[in-house]
Amino acid sequence: MRIWLDLANSPQVLFFRPIVPELERFGHLVTITSRDFAQTTQLADRYGLRHTVVGAHGGKRLSKIGLRVIERAWQLVRFARLRKFDLAVSHNSYAQALAATALRIPFVTSMDYEHQPANHLCFRLASRVIVPVYFPGWALRKYGATPQKTGYYHGLKEQVYLADFTPQPASPQTESLPSCARRGGGGCTIISITRSLNRYSTTWPQAPKCISCSCHASIRNWTAPAHSAVPTCGCRRLHWTDLTCFTMLIS
């Protein structure tokens, strides 16, 4: 299958970086376009993703942003017209949604934020919408993502970033940390700050399940094993987003 992937913002590079090799492992041919915005193109270069830069950001004014989306959609149409793509994939690229629709290419989008008004555009034009399991049902209905075209993945988008991450047992000794932290002595404290679950009380269940495996163990007081990059729930299993499952949702 010839898959066209569009990277419109810098976090999307981190999201699709481990997914692209998985798609290729399944035998798909992946072609990547990118938008010149924030650090999108630089990150794509850094992680060795071969991409073609098409279009740029429209600025801060809503009217200019809208015009630039339409302009970039036309540029993407010209890019994709003769390449005979079987599938267009992005993380809510509005320009790609318009271009793929114009070219009658099936469009798959992923999204993790339920308060984005532009979800109306991508969700309604998409043939498949892929969201985390905790994406609210009311938002899917509001933005036109029917149950028949909605797919879910366990965990959070940021866990996909770490899907192929291998923890380093000696990470406190790395040169990137201050010398006092590498010595492990006093005078230096490493602090990890995470968001409180209370902030999501309107969308998360009152007694939340594990965000990765949906087991019934509470994650309010989760513990992580030594050198773990991903928190575990009360069942003490280390959870990673299943890339194979996600890849099958796309293709």
Domain co-membership, 22 together with 119? yes
Domain co-membership, 27 together with 76? yes
- Please report which confidence band the pLDDT of residue 165 belongs to, taking 50, 70 and 90 as the band edges: confident
Let me know if residue 220 belongs to a domain. no
How many domains, the chain?
A: 2
Evaluate whether 21 touches 47 at the Cβ level (below 8 Å).
Answer: no
3-state SS string for 52-76: EEEEECCCCCHHHHHHHHHHHHHHH
Higher pLDDT, 109 or 251: 109
Cα diameter, the chain: 63
Rounded CA-CA distance 122/133 in Å is: 19
Domain co-membership, 129 together with 175? no
- Residue 60 pLDDT: 73
Domain co-membership, 94 together with 184? no
Rounded CA-CA distance 216/84 in Å is: 46
- Residue 195 pLDDT: 45
Residue pLDDT, tens place only, 206-241: 333 444 444 433 333 333 333 333 333 444 333 334
CATH number reported for the structural domain that contains residue 11 in this entry: 3.40.50.2000
- Residue 90 pLDDT: 96
Cα-based distances in Å from 101 to 3, 26, 59, 107: 15, 25, 25, 7
E-assigned strands of 140-216? 150-153
Rounded CA-CA distance 9/5 in Å is: 12
Let me know if residue 34 belongs to a domain. yes
Domain co-membership, 126 together with 184? no
Let me know if residue 91 belongs to a domain. yes
- Please report which confidence band the pLDDT of residue 159 belongs to, taking 50, 70 and 90 as the band edges: confident
Domain co-membership, 12 together with 136? yes
* Percentage of the chain exceeding pLDDT 70: 65
Cα-based distances in Å from 105 to 73, 77, 118, 128: 13, 11, 20, 12
Let me know if residue 233 belongs to a domain. no
Cα-based distances in Å from 17 to 6, 11, 239: 12, 10, 19
Residue pLDDT, tens place only, 6-62: 999 999 999 999 999 999 999 999 999 999 988 899 999 999 999 999 987 766 777
Domain co-membership, 74 together with 189? no
The model's pTM is 0.71
Let me know if residue 232 belongs to a domain. no
Let me know if residue 60 belongs to a domain. yes
Let me know if residue 212 belongs to a domain. no
Nearest C-alpha neighbor of 172 from the set 209, 219, 134, 227: 227
Let me know if residue 36 belongs to a domain. yes
Domain co-membership, 76 together with 186? no
Range of the structural domain that residue 77 is part of: 2-161+242-250
